[in-house]
């Protein structure tokens, strides 16, 4: 995309701003760290004030602004504060809905899952990301931003014990596709990302007492994030990606735009 300039004065650099939920540890911390290191301003949240503060301090070493907003994504006031923090940093280019709850640990059979736990799981993993998007949509629209909903293979698998969590992620996947269709005219894009099994606290809680040391660390997903964040939203809108897969494809209708050049048809 070329923007025509009327003079030779470079415009002041506009920092890209990203909001990452659940950023004090695990996958969220990895994504936030990569974004900070690549020049983003950040808004991050987590429920633990101390863990969040430690994360924010580490992120600030990269030189960008970091707003730490402790709280629970299921709380509407907290979500409003997150969006306010992004507005104060200048806007919002990227919303990463990463904060998730496993529900109960150890994972019960779906038939034994209490209504209370299921309700809380859906509240955190499905209602909160959509409510946060709704609150952030005016800012995202201004910047033609990207929404990333962190999913799971439990959304598809039907694995024993993962029914409540998996149902919340399956619903989030559907919501992502719906958002992609509905928001396309506004330039806001939405994708779902299955990060694959990772050595995280959430995964450990699914297997209490078991050694999950054979699962890779969250940083194995870095190449995928680097690729995803480099794509124009229209090239990925509505897709569901596996971060640990060996191929990540763009929408085929964007053929020829990959390298910013038209394909010559022989």
Partner 1 sequence: MMPVAADRAIAAGGPLGSTSRTPRPATAPTEARGLQRDEVSLLVSDGAGHHHATFLDLATFLQPGDLLVVNDSATLAARLPLRASAGPGVLHLATRFTRDLWLAEPRWSPERQGPLPLVPGEPVEVAGSEARMVAPYPGQPRLWFVRVDGDAAMARAGAPIRYAHVDHDQPLERYQTVFARLPGSAEMPSAGRAFSRRALDRLREAGVLTAPLTLHTSVSSLEHDGGPLAHDSLPPEPFEVPRSTADAVNHAGAQGRRVIAIGTSVVRALESAFADGLVHPGGGFTRRVLHPARRPAVVDGLLTGFHEPRSTHLALLTALAGEATVCDAYDVAARGPYLWHEFGDLHLLLPPREREATNAR
Q: Which is nearer to partner 1, 163 or 218 (CB)?
A: 218
**Minimum distance, C-beta of residue 257 to partner 1, in the bound complex (Å):** 9
Q: Report the residue count for the chain.
A: 266
Whole-number minimum distance, CB 17 to partner 1, in Å?
A: 16
Q: Name which of 187 and 196 has its Cβ closer to partner 1.
A: 196
> Rounded to an integer, what distance in angstroms lies between the CA atom of residue 50 and that of residue 64?
20
Residue 221: CB minimum distance to partner 1, A: 8
DSSP character for 242? E
Given 162, 165, 224, 229, the catalytic residue? 165
Angle at 26 between CA 24 and CA 214, to 5 degrees: 160
Q: Are 232 and 256 in contact (CB under 8 A)?
A: no
- Cβ-based nearer residue to partner 1, 9 or 247: 247
Q: For 213, list phi and psi in degrees, rounded to 5.
A: -65, -15
Of 90, 191, 64, 216, residue with least CA distance to 142: 90
- The residue (of 16 and 79) whose beta carbon lies closer to partner 1 is 16
- The structure tokens listed for 82 are 């997150």
- Catalytic residue check, 207: no
Nearer to partner 1, 76 or 212 (CB): 212
d(CA 55, CA 71): 14
Q: How buried is 247 (Cβ within 10 angstroms: 0-12 exposed, 13-18 middle, 19+ buried)?
A: exposed
Query: Would you list the DSSP string of 233-244?
Result: HHHHTT-EEETT
Six-digit token pair at 189?
A: 């894009």
Nearest residue (CB) to partner 1, 157 versus 223: 223
Element (H, E) at 94: strand 94-97
How many CB atoms neighbour CB 39 within 10 A? 12
User: Rule CB under 8 A: which residues touch partner 1?
Assistant: 33-34, 37-39, 61-62, 216-217, 219-220, 222-223, 226-227, 230, 244, 246-252, 255-256, 258-259, 261, 263-266
Q: Are strands 94-97 and 146-150 parallel, antiparallel or unpaired?
A: parallel
**Can you read off the two tokens belonging to residue 157?**
């698998």
Least distance from C-beta 138 to partner 1, angstroms? Answer: 26
From the CB of 62, what's the least distance to partner 1, in Å? 6
In whole angstroms, the minimum distance from the beta carbon of 249 to partner 1 comes to 4
Catalytic residues: 165
């Amino acid at each position: 995309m070329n923007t025509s300039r009327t003079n030779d004065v470079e415009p002041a650099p506009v920092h890209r701003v990203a909001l990452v939920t659940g950023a004090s540890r695990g996958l969220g911390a990895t994504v936030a760290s990569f974004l900070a290191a690549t020049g983003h301003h950040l808004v991050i949240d987590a429920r633990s004030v101390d863990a969040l503060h430690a994360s924010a301090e580490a992120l600030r070493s990269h030189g960008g602004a970091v707003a730490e907003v402790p709280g629970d994504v299921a709380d509407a006031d907290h979500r409003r504060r997150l969006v306010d923090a992004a507005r104060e940093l200048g806007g919002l280019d990227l919303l990463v809905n990463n904060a998730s709850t496993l529900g109960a640990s150890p994972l019960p059979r779906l038939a034994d899952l209490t209504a209370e736990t299921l309700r809380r799981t859906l509240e955190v993993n499905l209602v909160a990301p959509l409510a946060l998007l709704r609150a952030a949509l005016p800012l995202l629209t201004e910047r033609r931003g990207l929404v990333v909903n962190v999913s799971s293979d439990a959304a598809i698998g039907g694995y024993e014990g993962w029914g409540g969590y998996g149902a919340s992620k399956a619903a989030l996947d559907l919501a992502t596709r719906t958002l992609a269709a509905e928001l396309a005219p506004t330039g806001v894009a939405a994708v779902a990302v299955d990060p694959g099994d990772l050595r995280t606290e959430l995964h450990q809680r699914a297997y209490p007492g078991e050694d999950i040391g054979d699962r890779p660390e969250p940083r194995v997903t870095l190449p995928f994030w680097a690729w995803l964040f480099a794509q124009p939203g229209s090239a990925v809108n509505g897709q569901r990606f596996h971060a640990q897969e060996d191929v990540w494809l763009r929408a085929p209708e964007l053929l020829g735009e990959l390298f910013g050049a038209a394909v010559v048809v022989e």
